[in-house]
Structure 1
Amino acid sequence: MRNSGSTVEEYRFEVAGACAAWTTVEPATLSLYPGDVESVSVVFRPPRDPSVPAGETPFGVRVVPTSDHAEPVVPEGRVTVAPFTEVTAELVPRGSHGVRRGAHKIAVDNRGNTPLTVGLTARSGTERARVSFDRSELTVEPGRAAFAELRVKPGKHLWRGTPVVHTFQAVVTPPAPESEEPAAPPVVLDGSYQQEAVLPRWLPRALALVCVLALILAGFWYGLLRPAVKSAAREAITPEVIASATTGTDGTGGPNGGSGGPSAAPAPTTAPGVAPTAKATPTPRPKPKPSAKPKPSAKPLPPDVPTSAQVQVRDAVGGGPSSGTALTVPSGKAFRLTDIVVQNPQGDAGSVVVTTGEGSRFLTLALENFRDSDYHFVTPIVVPAGGRVTMTVTCRKVGRPVGAPAPGRCAESLLLGGTMQSVKP
């Protein structure tokens, strides 16, 4: 620094640029007499952190005079930050278990200031398992983490017995540095995989328990239930039941008034010294009378016809109610109403009444409570021949649809659904 002026001047130094956070000027202020020359030191202390990238970084030192008549100056320069390598890794989880394979993930953190491409290798602690990565290399940006998958697969299945533990090592190898900085050592991670048996250890015990329960149930059946069932069956076979099954009656006597079957005849009785009389012949059974022939049935009615109808009613505010008939049932028919839909698309206010005949009102709704209202009846509403399904609208306020001009009258519609059924005259 040189003071080319004619007065004593004091200068203040400020560092500008990306390196200002880790750059200082020593001393921070300097006083010079006219014609004097002094030096200050610009000291760079970049932290060993991924936030400071490797390479050239421009900077400037702003020299600010304290007097008002002098203008500040900004000499500029460049500082080169050397690269450094620092790698950490973690195996997640450290131990796994399963029947067929073990799954792990390795997280590699680049704590250096340059992008790194690390090598991934794995070696098994035993010859009974194979360990492999899903990729051989992994590129990690500064200050970031990258992940790779590692799988452990046993050589053969373990059907039953004690689980087997397979140990392995995952090795993360950083690249060789281009500068004179010493190479970073590889990161070695230890892990394990526990191979479970295909047949769980509790399966033999469960099978033994099932066999014991089956034997207990079989003993309970043969020892208690089966004898009780046989005893109840024997007690149910009484002489009355046997006689009823033999004669085809309820056990009070056969068709001839006796307890025997049709061929059973009373034994002849003779008194001493009297000649036996002739055997009594059985009374013949009466022959059943032929039943009358059924009369031919009447001609069947035609099947029900699905029927629907619709009506729209418009009504102005202040006048009387307006009505419209949706359906008139013809003679010899009956309409079975099962579905009804009432629509109020404009959002009008008022009332709507649906009738099925003279004074037969079955639905009354307030228009301001709905836009679309539908009803479905499990038990159909029957409208006889000559009946009319009518909708009556009383408009109190005309609604206004969204994004459309206001209409002049209320507008509602009615949709009916059901079947038209023929009735006997």
Structure 2
Amino acid sequence: MSVTASLDAASVTAEPGGRTDVPLQILNSGSTVEEYRFEVIGACAAWATVEPPALSLYPGATGTVSLRLSLPRDPSVPAGETPFGVRVTPTSDPGAAVVPEGTVSVAPFTEVTSELVPRGSSGAYRGRHQLAVDNRGNAPVTVRLTGTTGTERATVELATAELLIPSGRADFAKLSVRPAGRIWRGTPVTHTFQAFVTPVVAEGREAPEPLTLDGSYEQQAILPRWLPRALILAAAVLIALVGLWYALLRPAVKSAAREAITPEVVASAVAKSPSASGGSGNGVDGTGDPDGGGAGNEGGAAGPSPSPSTGSGTGTGGGGAGAGAANAPGTPTSARVEVKDAVGGAPSTGSAYKVPGGSVFALTDIVVQNPQGDAGTLTVLSGDAPILRLALENFRDSDYHFVTPILVASGEEVTMTVDCRQVGRPVKAPTPASCSQSLLVGGTLRPTIEAAD
């Protein structure tokens, strides 16, 4: 072996952030001039060097190099003992390398940082924060947590009083600020507070100063300021919805109800009406008003008598005969017609019902329908006499019922005339080519007096 190497100190203490030099003695025990190169091995190789990195010695000569330990002040170098070695390699004979070994005791250091997250909070019941504590030292550290508001209007509460934080790690503790009383309405109140983070160190070591963190909590009213405005806005929306109902939705519901009135329903209602039964009409069985049909019949029967009552009886009998024809028993009858008319040009007319000979039609019910919502004029006539004259834009479905029937004489017709000004458009359907209206009439078909006789 051509080299002998030894450390002046096999164990050395180093402070993080500082520099420590350890002498290394080299002896050339060979017979030729030799160059030696040095390499630090072990965990401390990242922060240790040898100065100079190479050394040439004559045979039997001794030289000294320095092992320089430059420890960084961060958690990457943990406190405690760390072994190391220095490989000394002859250039001419690498296989004859020697490795003197030693240990370095890394001194612990404490460095703690902290942050209040968030620094300001708000709420009606409490303020919520977190204390973030970061251990940037090279040894585990215990920290004590305290807090104060400086007034009696609020208190600081911590979820834990101490934290044990490993080296190079961070931990969190919940902090809340609770007010002494509640604010129902009014201006918010701001409570300032301080949190203290105090590292705990072993005896004999210098204790670092506690960390002071300032924060604030804004106590808000339980009933927010926007509540009155929200109530006013809600009332306005409610009024608007009610107006929308009466302006749009309610007429649509009524229109749907009217459209449900079909000719079959009207015919059934006519058949069940008292006027169709004929059981209570005057002059039907001669037992009505004694001054009406019944008395007239008696007068007619006594017509040939020369008594002074003959003329009166005959005249009354004539009136009774007319009333009897109007109220005579009959057959419930209904009829329907649909009339279409284009915009412009002459009106269109359709016949709903023509009274047969020897009969009188007692008209009691009329239903007119405007399903498209057209605009124009609709006229219902009995012969040449108008019964109804309606503006189409004023209705979709409309029905009329007469306590006193409208008498349509034998041979006359019930007609409907439509004069279209504008074609409507049904909901969710294309616009039709022409106006379209329908008429349903109902009543009782009764025989005339002559036919009855």
Name the TM tier (shorter chain).
0.5 to 0.7
Q: Which has the higher mean CA deviation after the structures are superposed, 249-258 or 138-147?
A: 249-258
Equivalent residue, structure 2, for 1:25: 50
CA distance, structure 2, for counterparts of residue 103 and residue 131 of structure 1: 10
2:63 corresponds to 1:63: no
- How far off its partner does 1:53 sit? 0.7
- How far off its partner does 1:250 sit? 4.3
Equivalent residue, structure 1, for 2:220: 196
AA at the equivalent of 2:128: A
Equivalent residue, structure 2, for 1:127: 152
Structure 1 unaligned residues grouped into runs of 5+: 223-247, 281-425
CA distance, structure 1, for counterparts of residue 102 and residue 168 of structure 2: 27
The alignment partner of 1:184 has SS state of coil
Q: Structure 2 residue aligned with 1:142, among 149, 164, 167?
A: 167
Equivalent residue, structure 1, for 2:374: none
The alignment partner of 1:162 has SS state of coil
2:297 corresponds to 1:273: no
Equivalent residue, structure 1, for 2:124: 99
Equivalent residue, structure 1, for 2:59: 34
- How far off its partner does 1:156 sit? 1.8
Q: Structure 1 residue aligned with 2:115, among 90, 111, 114?
A: 90
- How far off its partner does 1:262 sit? 11
CA distance, structure 1, for counterparts of residue 111 and residue 196 of structure 2: 15
Q: Which has the higher mean CA deviation after the structures are superposed, 100-109 or 66-75?
A: 66-75
Q: After the TM superposition, which segments of 4 or more aligned residues of structure 1 sit over 6 Å from their partners?
A: 212-222, 259-263, 269-272
AA at the equivalent of 2:308: G
* Alpha carbons of structure 1 residues 157 and 31: separation in structure 2 relative to 1, 3 Å: same
Q: Which has the higher mean CA deviation after the structures are superposed, 84-93 or 114-123?
A: 84-93
| Residue correspondence of structure 1 range 10-409 to structure 2 within 5 A | 10-68=35-93, 71-176=96-201, 178=203, 180=205, 182-209=206-233, 249-251=273-275, 254-255=278-279, 257-258=281-282, 264-267=288-291, 268=295, 273-274=308-309
The alignment partner of 2:230 has SS state of helix
* Alpha carbons of structure 1 residues 257 and 64: separation in structure 2 relative to 1, 3 Å: same
* Alpha carbons of structure 1 residues 161 and 259: separation in structure 2 relative to 1, 3 Å: farther
* Alpha carbons of structure 1 residues 179 and 252: separation in structure 2 relative to 1, 3 Å: same
- How far off its partner does 1:218 sit? 9.3
CA distance, structure 2, for counterparts of residue 27 and residue 255 of structure 1: 139
The alignment partner of 1:38 has SS state of strand
Q: Which has the higher mean CA deviation after the structures are superposed, 141-150 or 125-134?
A: 125-134
- Percent same amino acid among aligned pairs? 58
The alignment partner of 2:209 has SS state of coil
Q: Which has the higher mean CA deviation after the structures are superposed, 27-36 or 182-191?
A: 182-191
- How far off its partner does 1:164 sit? 2.1
CA distance, structure 1, for counterparts of residue 209 and residue 177 of structure 2: 25
* Alpha carbons of structure 1 residues 32 and 199: separation in structure 2 relative to 1, 3 Å: same
Q: Give a deviation string over 1:290-315, Cα, whole Å, max 9, x none.
A: xxxxxxxxxxxxxxxxxxxxxxxxxx
Q: Give a deviation string over 1:108-159, Cα, whole Å, max 9, x none.
A: 1100000000001111144222211100000100001111111122222221
CA distance, structure 2, for counterparts of residue 9 and residue 49 of structure 1: 40
Q: Give a deviation string over 1:48-107, Cα, whole Å, max 9, x none.
A: 010101111111111111122871111111111111111111222222222222222111
AA at the equivalent of 2:168: G
* Alpha carbons of structure 1 residues 257 and 89: separation in structure 2 relative to 1, 3 Å: same
* Alpha carbons of structure 1 residues 160 and 64: separation in structure 2 relative to 1, 3 Å: same
The alignment partner of 2:231 has SS state of helix
* Alpha carbons of structure 1 residues 260 and 172: separation in structure 2 relative to 1, 3 Å: farther
Q: Structure 2-normalised TM-score?
A: 0.50
The alignment partner of 1:6 has SS state of coil
* Alpha carbons of structure 1 residues 36 and 187: separation in structure 2 relative to 1, 3 Å: same
Equivalent residue, structure 2, for 1:421: none
CA distance, structure 1, for counterparts of residue 156 and residue 111 of structure 2: 26
* Alpha carbons of structure 1 residues 143 and 262: separation in structure 2 relative to 1, 3 Å: farther
The alignment partner of 2:309 has SS state of coil
AA at the equivalent of 2:173: A
Q: As a proportion of its length, which structure holds more helix?
A: 2
CA distance, structure 1, for counterparts of residue 35 and residue 280 of structure 2: 150
The alignment partner of 2:92 has SS state of coil
Residue 83 of structure 2 contacts residue 104 of structure 2 at CA under 8 Å; is this kept in 1?
yes
* Alpha carbons of structure 1 residues 215 and 57: separation in structure 2 relative to 1, 3 Å: closer
CA distance, structure 2, for counterparts of residue 44 and residue 259 of structure 1: 137
Q: Which has the higher mean CA deviation after the structures are superposed, 135-144 or 267-276?
A: 267-276
Q: Which has the higher mean CA deviation after the structures are superposed, 112-121 or 59-68?
A: 59-68
Aligned pair count reads 257
* Alpha carbons of structure 1 residues 63 and 258: separation in structure 2 relative to 1, 3 Å: same
* Alpha carbons of structure 1 residues 75 and 216: separation in structure 2 relative to 1, 3 Å: closer
The alignment partner of 1:79 has SS state of strand
CA distance, structure 2, for counterparts of residue 259 and residue 136 of structure 1: 109
Q: Structure 1-normalised TM-score?
A: 0.53
Residue 116 of structure 1 contacts residue 139 of structure 1 at CA under 8 Å; is this kept in 2?
yes
2:41 corresponds to 1:6: no
- How far off its partner does 1:193 sit? 1.9
CA distance, structure 1, for counterparts of residue 222 and residue 94 of structure 2: 90
Residue 124 of structure 2 contacts residue 221 of structure 2 at CA under 8 Å; is this kept in 1?
yes
